[in-house]
Amino acid sequence: MSIFNRVYGVKPGRDASPLERALWFRGYYLRNLALAVPACILVLAFLPPWLLVIVLLPTLVGFIQLTREIRRERRRREAP
């Protein structure tokens, strides 16, 4: 078993549902947060704060879109 699979879990295949793929990718985002927080602190300590905004803005937008997609897929599954 590779280290990637141990840390992030086995990536869903192409035949997996969109919900399964989105949930896996959200877990990928959240596990990387443990590395991102110390990196953000270092950026704030040594570089201008606007640089952190440039880096974090696309990440936050992507995470919000992913969360919205998960909610949409869950509603589709629950609908009769």
Give the model confidence (pLDDT) of 20-43 as tens digits: 999 999 998 888 888 888 888 888
Taking 90 as the threshold, does the pLDDT of residue 67 lie above it? yes
Q: Is the whole model's pTM more than 0.85, yes or no?
A: no
Helices 18-46 and 49-78, axial angle in degrees (round to 10) = 160
pLDDT of residue 42: 85
> Please, what is the end-to-end C-alpha distance for the chain in angstroms?
40
Domain boundaries, the chain: 15-78
pLDDT in tens, 41-54: 888 888 888 888 88
Give the closest residue to 26 by CA, choosing from 55, 69, 74: 69
Q: What is the CA radius of gyration of the chain?
A: 16
